Structure 1
Amino acid sequence: MNELNWLVAAPEIFLLVAACVIALADLWVMDERRRVTFWLSQASVAVFTLMHANLLSNGLATGAAASVNALQGLMVSDPMGHLLAVAAGVAVMITLAYAQPYIGSRELSKGELYVLTLLALLGVSVMISANNFLVIYVGLELMSLSLYALVALRRDHAVATEAAMKYFVLGALASGFLLYGMSMMYGATSSLDLPEVFNAIQTGKINPTVLTFGVVFIVAGLAFKLGVVPFHMWVPDVYQGAPTAITLMIGGFPKLAAFAVTIRILVEGLSGVAHDWQQMFMFLAVCSMAVGNLAAIAQTNLKRMLAYSGIAQLGFMLLGFTPTVVAHNTLNAANGYSSAMFYVITYVLTTLGTFGLIMFMSRQGFESDEVSDLAGLAKRNPWLAGVMTIFMFSLAGVPPMVGFYAKFAILQALVSTNEALYIGLAIAAVMLSLIGAFYYLRVVKVMYFDEPKDAAPVPAQGPVGILLAANGLAALGLGLMPEGLMALCRQTIVAALAS
């Protein structure tokens, strides 16, 4: 059993040791660009990702016995967790690659940035593999505190400091909601282990009133972390105020952890009271799509527009959780959850590209974060304009981009229930997505039809340019051939539901 504990926790233990070693090694790095620290961080994240990829392949090969509890039931090793950890690791590597030139020109290239990024990834990994409420909370705080510090890394920048304060105060409020909900959950079920909470609800050994209040507070806390309406107030200000590299870290891989925790708590632990949180998710989803899409239309700042876009996108993702417990139908469950998982992974992929291109367009003393800054980009660099068009079309759900298939999978999960309520939700989602298409297509219009402020060509050489091209091709390729990733998501979700 001790050997199993080490194997299950090996990637997290390695990442923690690597972060400590890099923090010490950086003291002897004299290079202002921190190239040694950058490559050590990339190598550490790559090893972490490969370790989870190995566990994923072993778990899929094992089949029914793929889910294993360890550390006295505090952690779970299953294919879903390993797939999300692999996606988070890849997202961090791409984020650091996009960020290195950007932070180098803004005096942000410090050892603390890399160490805090690794610790945030560690928090994400702990949340993904947690099987206990307190472990989830520890992972959440590790991730959140690291991100608060990253936003405030530019101490001489008033806007970034203000964004960090808002993020910290509202993030602490969200953590308080979650912790209060968890305490109620313990009062209702006499346990903090998710399997025992599930069993207590199934056997009826609960205090139903306390349990209902606990579910409300937990859903509110999760909604804060996802950044959906009406708990979205921190998202636009933090996205706009933080340096773009840090904005990408907030809007990227933490979304995978939020999805994982939603599955762990609400599906694996609280599926017995799904009728309670399911209705709340319907409300959150529709409000997020409506407010996010309508507010984004009025934005002229590109990062702020993408913040409201993210609120709408995550609202759409939440729809995947709503039809999945009809008559306890396992097929509906696997269909909805796997569609939501595919959606969040591909959303992170597209987010990486959009913010990566914003950083690529930025230069010393100039942030390319206004929609008007992209004016005439097709004339200055047709290739960059084409890549950005792919990302905008994907977010809008235009075929054949991956965003179209992700939306289609969610809608198919809703319609396949053959119930009027879910078909109505699907119709509302389509109508609100049509509204959202306006501001994505406006960016394309600005790039191709507006006159550029600066007629000088934009160079697109170098590793970051190649990475942007690969990112754009991935968004297009997964839209043309989504079956592999979708099948993998379905397989991992089925294994998680069977455990």
Structure 2
Amino acid sequence: MTFSAHDLFLILPELFVIAAACAVLALDPVIPASKKDGLAWLSLGTLAVCLGLTASQMGQTTTAFSGIVLIDAYGGFWKLLLYFVTGLTVLLSYSYLKEERLHFGEYYGFVLLALAGMMVMVSAADLLTIYLGTELMSLSLYVMAGLKRTEPRSLEASAKYFVLGAFSSGILLYGISLLYGATGSTRLPAVAAAIGGRGIDDPLLLFATILLAVGFAFKLAVVPFHMWTPDVYQGAPTSVTAFMAVASKAASFGAFVRVFVEGLGGLKANWSAIFLLLCLATLVLGNVVALVQTNIKRMLAYSSIAHAGYALIGVVAAGRTGSDGAHGVASVLLYIALYAFMTFGAFAIVAMLRKGGLEGDEIEDFTGLSKRHPLAALLMLVFMVSLAGLPPTAGFIGKFYVFMAAVQAGMTWLAVVALIFAAVSAYYYLRLVMVMYMREPEPLSITAPRLVMSPALSIVLACAVAGVVMLGLYPNPIVNFAAQAVLPLK
């Protein structure tokens, strides 16, 4: 493989992120604790630069490094979403670390390293490159999940995530090796060409497809490969949980869709059936088990699993024979982007309650919140209504488009099933609303200190609620953006 200065220019966003991560890790041991806030602002500055660079590349489709990296609108869509989520994570973490008196400046370095891995995942046109990006993301998240080194629950979350993550990575790599043996290449265009000439009845190709599906299913946290999600979400620091629930899921869906639609499109009759089964199992288990949760982070974890099932509807629709795959893929991009606002906002409220000394981990901690802290209750109400998919919020728009993708693919029954479980989900989302607005607070909690939103946390919540409301009322810009981003995958 050869490369030129132009190739390096094309991956400048990735290079900037990695350079900033290295700078943070190098500066952390040598600067005093009182100055470590500057590492957060260095991270935000890096994200702003990368945002401009990626926006300038949105109009082009080109390859770098002999075709293993693809610069296109599809990858650009995911990168812009990841910059936004990472920026919110840095702001939320800035407030969280100060409150917990955790002077871990290297935390921001791991956030940037995870982002770098995610950027590689969504832009790679080679299976091994996607795998390397996945591992960089995963290794960083393992460390971040165990950030609170004095809490056994945090260390347990990190250990569980590491063990199961390593297991899934092995399965993914085995699937890549089998696919290489069957097609003679790991580059997606070459894999697609080889599959197109061999048909869909090759058992080796089918087995490789199943292993790749399982490997990605772990990263996406879909049933039955979801078992790590509730424990890790509950044990990890809340800011890390928000980052995992949104950014890692977005990057995993970005790589997953590119691999199966662009590389394994010739096998769509096979993988569409596989993902249909996973989609149905995920919708059922994610929503039903969430009904009985008493811990808010575990409830949101099962909610996250269920939302992965809704996004899979778009993937299934894209794989249906005779359907326009672009509609299905566009619905996935749109759904994950809208999901990011409401989920991050919900976790930010949980973090704010912990900051106020109200714990916030148990649903009972929200009792009478509307009387104690009306603004926090109102914001949580907006996020819960959006997660339930009620109009006029972004959650309704996301569900509407994935359901329409299923209908256009001739799978109206799947849209009906998903709609039924969306109604089931409304119960556990609105149960939290009932606890906040229809129960009297404990006498001691009324006199508790009022919640104070730091400037950083205020920005996070303002961005989240603005996205949920504005994109619910006027979704055309992001709908059109998602539609344009899938053009290279047709």
Residue 100 of structure 2 aligns to a residue whose secondary structure is coil
- The separation in 1 between residues aligned to 2:417 and 2:236, in whole angstroms, is 33
Contact 1:278 1:321 in 2 (8 A): yes
Contact 1:53 1:83 in 2 (8 A): no
Q: Report the RMSD for the aligned CA atoms in angstroms.
A: 1.6
- TM-superposed CA distance for 1:69, in Å, is 1.2
- TM-superposed CA distance for 1:460, in Å, is 4.2
1:245-293: CA deviations, max 9, x gaps?
Answer: 1111211211111111112210010000001110111111111111011
Q: TM-score, normalised by structure 1?
A: 0.94
Residue correspondences, number: 484
Query: Aligned pair in 2 of structure 1 residues 328, 8: CA closer, same or farther (>3 Å)?
Result: farther
- The separation in 2 between residues aligned to 1:207 and 1:184, in whole angstroms, is 15
Alignment correspondent of 2:4:
2
Alignment correspondent of 1:337:
329
- TM-superposed CA distance for 1:34, in Å, is 2.1
- The separation in 2 between residues aligned to 1:163 and 1:30, in whole angstroms, is 29
Alignment correspondent of 1:381:
373
- The separation in 2 between residues aligned to 1:327 and 1:232, in whole angstroms, is 29
Query: Aligned pair in 2 of structure 1 residues 31, 11: CA closer, same or farther (>3 Å)?
Result: same
Is 1:474 equivalent to 2:463 in the alignment?
no
Contact 2:268 2:320 in 1 (8 A): no
Contact 2:356 2:451 in 1 (8 A): no
Alignment correspondent of 1:442:
431
Contact 1:52 1:83 in 2 (8 A): no
2:244 to 232, 247, 250: 250
Alignment correspondent of 1:160:
154
Alignment correspondent of 2:349:
357
Alignment correspondent of 1:216:
210
Is 1:288 equivalent to 2:282 in the alignment?
yes
Alignment correspondent of 1:308:
302
Moved segments of 4+, more than 4 Å: none
- The separation in 1 between residues aligned to 2:450 and 2:465, in whole angstroms, is 18
- The separation in 2 between residues aligned to 1:253 and 1:372, in whole angstroms, is 28
1:53 to 51, 55, 78: 55
- TM-superposed CA distance for 1:472, in Å, is 0.8
1:164-218: CA deviations, max 9, x gaps?
Answer: 1110010011101100100000011011111000000112289911111000000
- The separation in 1 between residues aligned to 2:203 and 2:250, in whole angstroms, is 31
Residue 437 of structure 1 aligns to a residue whose secondary structure is helix
Query: Aligned pair in 2 of structure 1 residues 182, 443: CA closer, same or farther (>3 Å)?
Result: same
Contact 1:400 1:479 in 2 (8 A): yes
Query: Aligned pair in 2 of structure 1 residues 364, 383: CA closer, same or farther (>3 Å)?
Result: closer
- The separation in 2 between residues aligned to 1:447 and 1:207, in whole angstroms, is 55
Alignment correspondent of 1:348:
340
More displaced stretch, 289-298 vs 32-41 = 32-41
Percent of counterpart pairs with the same letter?
A: 39
Is 1:458 equivalent to 2:447 in the alignment?
no
Unaligned stretches of 5+ residues in structure 1: 60-65
What amino acid sits opposite 1:465 in the alignment?
A: S
What amino acid sits opposite 1:407 in the alignment?
A: K
- The separation in 2 between residues aligned to 1:441 and 1:118, in whole angstroms, is 35
Alignment correspondent of 1:396:
388
- TM-superposed CA distance for 1:461, in Å, is 4.0
Is 1:489 equivalent to 2:465 in the alignment?
no
Alignment correspondent of 1:430:
419
Q: TM-score, normalised by structure 2?
A: 0.96
- TM-superposed CA distance for 1:439, in Å, is 0.3
1:218-244: CA deviations, max 9, x gaps?
Answer: 000111000010000000000001111
- TM-superposed CA distance for 1:349, in Å, is 1.5
Unaligned stretches of 5+ residues in structure 2: none
More displaced stretch, 30-39 vs 73-82 = 30-39
More displaced stretch, 98-107 vs 379-388 = 98-107
What amino acid sits opposite 2:275 in the alignment?
A: F
1:324 to 314, 318, 322: 318
1:338-376: CA deviations, max 9, x gaps?
Answer: 011100111112111011111111137653111111111
1:397-451: CA deviations, max 9, x gaps?
Answer: 000000001000011111123x3xx111111101111111100000111111111
